[in-house]
Amino acid sequence: MPEPAAPIGVFDSGVGGLSVLAEVARLLPGESLLYVADCGHIPYGEKTPAFIRQRCRIVAEFFRAQGAKAMVLACNTATVAAVADLREQYPEWPLVGMEPAVKPAAAATRSGVVGVLATTGTLQSAKFAALLDRFANDVRVITQPCPGLVELIEAGDLDSPALRQLLRGYVEPLLAAGCDTLILGCTHYPFLKPLLAEMVPASVAIIDTGAAVARQLKRLLAERGLLAQGPAQPAQFWTSASPEHLRNILPLLWNKSDSVQSFGR
Ligand code: DGL
């Protein structure tokens, strides 16, 4: 039986999940956080579901070996591929996944047109199709896969001319089609919000699910009497690529310089 003081494991294919980690740290400042970035295998958006499931199992086992009391799958692409498998594998372990915010977007749109920016893997999944079936019957949803964005963000690029051009090419067709609500369906994309705010009219709502995931995590922990009272240990980071690279870009994306170790699994 885990203790409330046990850490929480947060996982993404790379640095995108740091946008979720920030929401978890904001809502639950007493929690000790572990973060694994599978940077050696990005982008998950172009990998097979079987490959992603295997990586998720390896990381889940690692978190459990570290004594983690819960896991956040801070990656939409990993969630569609692996959350069911992990839940079957660890039925008692609190596990929170991500999904594109189709439900709130469908409720919020006034034009009736919603745009979704996400990875190819997420947009092609049966889980995403089911989400549309369930919540988007009365609105038009235009999906836009965004190959290339994740790689640039992983390199620490949040506003180069090349990135701007790529992003504009993805967003403009959605605006031209009348979208007034834009879903960020990949945890890397919230880091582009300042740039998006320059590119879209102020009347367009930009929605992501990091804060909702943090609230869901809090609910699951509270139900089990597992909320930590603090003080939290400093967050610990692991990466399957270069620790030095992650160390260099962490201040840009997380604003703290914490320990970074190699994830050699
Ligand atoms: N951050 C991940 C997501 O939320 C995907 C990034 C990738 O393609 O590796 O979908």
Q: How confident is the model over 175-200, as pLDDT tens digits? A: 999 999 999 999 999 999 999 999 99
pLDDT at 33: 97
Q: For residues 153 and 133, what is the distance between their CA atoms, to the nearest angstrom?
A: 31
Q: How confident is the model over 81-110, as pLDDT tens digits? A: 999 999 999 999 999 999 999 999 999 999
Residue 59 has pLDDT above 80, yes or no: yes
pLDDT at 208: 96
pLDDT at 255: 75
Residue 259 has pLDDT above 70, yes or no: yes
Contact 96, 75 (CB under 8 A): no
How far is the centre of ligand 1, averaged over its atoms, from the C-alpha of 68 (Å)?
Answer: 22
* Residue 186 a catalytic site member: yes
Q: How confident is the model over 203-238, as pLDDT tens digits? A: 999 999 999 999 999 999 999 999 999 899 999 999
Select from 48, 72, 76 the residue to mutate for testing ligand 1; criterion: most ligand atoms less than 8 Å from CB: 76
Secondary structure (DSSP) of 39-71: GGG--GGGS-HHHHHHHHHHHHHHHHHTT-SEE
* Residue 179 a catalytic site member: no
Question: Which ligand 1 atom lies nearest to the CA of residue 187?
Answer: 4
Ligand 1 contact, 11 CB (< 6 A): no
**143's tokens:** 């999906």
How far is the centre of ligand 1, averaged over its atoms, from the C-alpha of 79 (Å)?
Answer: 10
Average pLDDT over residues 26-31: 97
Choose among 72, 75, 95: nearest CA to 84.
Answer: 95
How sure is the predictor about 257, in pLDDT bands with cuts at 50, 70 and 90? Answer: low
Q: How confident is the model over 116-132, as pLDDT tens digits? A: 999 999 999 999 999 99
Q: At what angle do helices 76-89 and 126-135 cross, to 10 degrees?
A: 100
Average pLDDT over residues 150-164: 97
How far is the centre of ligand 1, averaged over its atoms, from the C-alpha of 97 (Å)?
Answer: 12
How far is the centre of ligand 1, averaged over its atoms, from the C-alpha of 190 (Å)?
Answer: 12
Ligand 1 contact, 77 CB (< 6 A): yes
Contact 230, 29 (CB under 8 A): yes
Ligand 1 contact, 100 CB (< 6 A): no
Q: For residues 183 and 190, what is the distance between their CA atoms, to the nearest angstrom?
A: 10
Ligand 1 contact, 122 CB (< 6 A): yes
Q: For residues 261 and 247, what is the distance between their CA atoms, to the nearest angstrom?
A: 9
Instruction: Give the CA distances from residue 152 to residues 18, 162, 207, in Å, rounded to whole numbers and listed in that order.
Output: 15, 9, 21
How far is the centre of ligand 1, averaged over its atoms, from the C-alpha of 85 (Å)?
Answer: 18
Select from 188, 189, 239 the residue to mutate for testing ligand 1; criterion: most ligand atoms less than 8 Å from CB: 188
Ligand 1 contact, 186 CB (< 6 A): yes
pLDDT at 265: 74
Ligand 1 contact, 45 CB (< 6 A): yes
**244's tokens:** 């030095």
Please tell me what DSSP assigns to residue 6. Answer: S
Ligand 1 contact, 190 CB (< 6 A): no
pLDDT at 40: 96
Residue 154 has pLDDT above 70, yes or no: yes
Ligand 1 contact, 14 CB (< 6 A): yes
| Amino acid at the residue 45 | G
Angle 21-50-131 (CA atoms, 0-180°, nearest 5)?
60
What domains does the chain contain, in order, with CATH numbers? 8-98+211-262 (3.40.50.1860), 102-208 (3.40.50.1860)
pLDDT at 264: 85
